[in-house]
Amino acid sequence: MFFNRLPLLALLTAFCLPSVAEEADSPKWVSAMKKVHEGFKGTSGYVAQFGDSITYTMAFWKPMSWSDPDQYLKDDGLPRHPEKAWKQIIKGAGDEGKGAEAANYSGWRVGNLLKAIPKVLADRKPEAALIMIGTNDISDGKVPADYEANLERVLQLCSDAKCIPILSTIPPKRGQIEAVEAANKIIKDLAVKHEIPMIDFYAQIIARADGGKWDGTLISNDGVHPTGGKSNDYSEENLKKSGYALRNWLSFLMYREVYFRVLATK
């Protein structure tokens, strides 16, 4: 059986994290992901990275292997860190988490993930997976007919492996906003349908871009990839100009939520 299919009352917003003790206010995905995680016997703390070049780059997630973001956290009801530093808890954030053998690579579409993920799930046995795919799928200006079914299959593969999927919307792309928003609607709908934690990267870029001008600020001059710079500086000022810092921060906040609400509750 796949995830609990009851409607999701509200998607998690990355900056509104309720207290662990407030179970009544917890997002619905908490219960669903606890069921997915039941009986997990894989690699504790291993966070897989499934995606295209926006994931394959060393600017994304690798900072979690050598730096800790604790100093940027605000009091939100959750602990700042577990019994160890985050860089000691999170596995797979270094070089070993990059490349086709880790299920992320330049130019990839969701079909590429379907071919690569089974081996990663079987060999590395990740406890969670950060999933963002779709930027290349919409290169023709529209969402392919099989995109939704293939992405849903990616989620099924993770669930079957007792790996918690963490979905992310794709960022804005120059000249293809309608297609981006169509793909993101599918991503959001799947997150609701299967009660999966989701990061709305697209919405955060739009909200943080100065004057709404994301092209050339949070998205680089190629109109596709997030901007780099200090990708482990999560100050409010830097989150408005480094697209990869913003994605790292949002991904960390969501993983931290999953960690304390699901993974650390045994």
pLDDT tens for each residue of 210-253: 887 999 999 999 999 999 999 999 999 999 999 999 999 999 99
For the ranges 1-10, 85-94, 126-135, 247-256, which has the lowest average pLDDT? 1-10
Look at residue 15 and tell me whether its pLDDT is greater than 60: no
pTM of structure: 0.90
SS3 label, residue 88: helix
- Cα(243)–Cα(245) distance, integer angstroms: 5
Q: 164-168 and 198-199: which strand pairing?
A: parallel
Fill in the amino acid letter for 88.
Answer: Q
Q: pLDDT tier at 266 (50, 70, 90 boundaries)? A: low
**Domain segments of the chain: what residues?**
25-67+82-202+251-263
In the CATH scheme, what is the homologous superfamily, with its name and number, of domain 25-67+82-202+251-263?
SGNH hydrolase (3.40.50.1110)
Mean pLDDT value across residues 108-123: 98
- Which residue carries 């207290």 as its tokens? 19
Tens of pLDDT, residue by residue over 20-73, are 444 546 898 999 999 999 999 999 999 999 999 999 999 999 999 999 899 999
Query: Under a CB-based contact definition with an 8 Å cutoff, are residues 60 and 248 in contact?
Result: yes
Tell me the pLDDT tens digit for each residue of 148-162.
Answer: 999 999 999 999 999
Alpha-helical (H) ranges within the chain are 29-37, 53-56, 86-89, 110-123, 147-160, 177-194, 201-208, 243-258
Identify the CA nearest to 90 among candidates 118, 70, 117, 113: 70
